[in-house]
Amino acid sequence: MKRHLTCAVAAFLFAAGIAQAGERTAITIASEGASPPWDYIDQNGALVGFDIDVGNELCARMKLQCTFVAQDWDGIIPGLLVKKYDAIISGMSITDKRKKSIAFSKPYAVTPNQIVMRRAVGLPPGDTAVKLDLTDIDGVKKDIIAKLRESLRGKTLGVLRSSNSEAVVQELFGDVAQVRSYDSQENLKLDLTSERIDGGLGDYLTWKQFLETPDGRSVDFFGPQLSGGSWGPGAGIGLRKEDTDLIAAFDIALETSITDGSLGRISLKWFGTDISPQIGK
């Protein structure tokens, strides 16, 4: 009964949110298009992936026609601010730094991040199933980080430019390892398999898919799964602060799609696991 009541209230709020959206009938959404299975460009030149399916699901609920465009990561926020598009759905973590310039919807996905290393480097991977939340670093976590620092001393690590992974690597390992930043995940992978770098830090599920390909067979996960800290509470939809109608509409659409399990089903399709937030399920 309580769930039915919650759904009824959400439906009312959803209708109200759409009413507040004024004259909007269509929006444009940007996605990097280079981080499968989150988002990538298929053989026909179309953007596909988890982020695209999430966007289509939410747009259908908001009764808006959505067009997706590919945008390099390091220009994705500037493009939103100059109104090249209306929203970003590209696995973007919600962080305090980004919230200084843009707004975010509620989280639509929660996943860890992890380091990978080339096997030829010879580092023991350790317990890669351990989860390390960097939000509050106590004595035990400091010891784990100290051991990671010693293992990575002198190594070269690749990260996506302007990403939270770049910030974490610089903060934790920047004084003991060489950090190389890339404009796309594809170029990072290319340098990794070409042995130009020793390893990299990024989204766990993106790495997982890569490791299952022929090019990824020479690479393994290394160290604990990392979350919190610079990565914030999860991935959200990036929006302009002044577009309060669109922020409200996305939030309501997200709440209903999480509650009825639609986001969970999209997650299972692309990742084989449910990465949607647990609130309201």
Residue-wise pLDDT for 13-28, tens only, equals 444 444 444 578 999 9
What's the confidence (pLDDT) of residue 12?
Answer: 46
| Cβ-contact 173, 159 below 8 angstroms | no
Asked whether residue 280 is assigned to any structural domain, the reply reads no
- Residues 84, 118 within the same domain: no
- Residues 47, 60 within the same domain: yes
Residues 6+ apart with CB under 8 A from 187: none
Residue type, 220: D
DSSP 192-221: HHTTSSSEEEEEHHHHHHHHTSGGGGGEEE
Asked whether residue 181 is assigned to any structural domain, the reply reads yes
Distances from the Cα of 158 to the Cαs of 29, 34, 260, in angstroms?
28, 15, 39
- Residues 119, 225 within the same domain: yes
List, for residues 137-191, the tens digit of each pLDDT value. Answer: 999 999 999 999 999 999 999 999 989 999 999 999 999 999 999 999 999 999 9
- Residues 194, 238 within the same domain: no
List, for residues 30-51, the tens digit of each pLDDT value. Answer: 999 999 999 999 999 999 999 9
List, for residues 41-87, the tens digit of each pLDDT value. Answer: 999 999 999 999 999 999 999 999 999 999 999 999 999 999 999 99
Distance CA 72, CA 212 (A): 25
- Residues 18, 55 within the same domain: yes
- Residues 101, 120 within the same domain: no
Domain count, the chain: 2
Domain range holding 129? 113-231
3-class state of residue 159 by DSSP: strand
Asked whether residue 279 is assigned to any structural domain, the reply reads no
Instruction: Let me know how long the chain is.
Output: 281
Please state the three-class secondary structure of 254-269 as a single string.
HHHHHHCCHHHHHHHH
Instruction: Considering only CA atoms, give the Rg of the chain.
Output: 19
Would you place residue 278 in the very low, low, confident or very high pLDDT band (cuts 50, 70, 90)?
Answer: confident
- Residues 190, 152 within the same domain: yes
User: Cα-flanking dihedrals φ and ψ of residue 206, to 5°?
Assistant: -65, -45
Task: With a cut of 50, say whether residue 243 has pLDDT above it.
Answer: yes
DSSP letter at 93 equals: B
Region 198-217: mean pLDDT is: 95
Read off the CATH number of the domain in which 30 is found.
Answer: 3.40.190.10
Q: What angle do CA 89, 93, 96 make, to 5 degrees?
A: 125
- Residues 54, 131 within the same domain: no
- Please identify which residue in the block is written with the tokens 């966007």: 55
What's the confidence (pLDDT) of residue 14?
Answer: 47
What's the confidence (pLDDT) of residue 188?
Answer: 96
- Residues 105, 241 within the same domain: yes
Region 226-248: mean pLDDT is: 94
Whole-model pTM: value is: 0.79
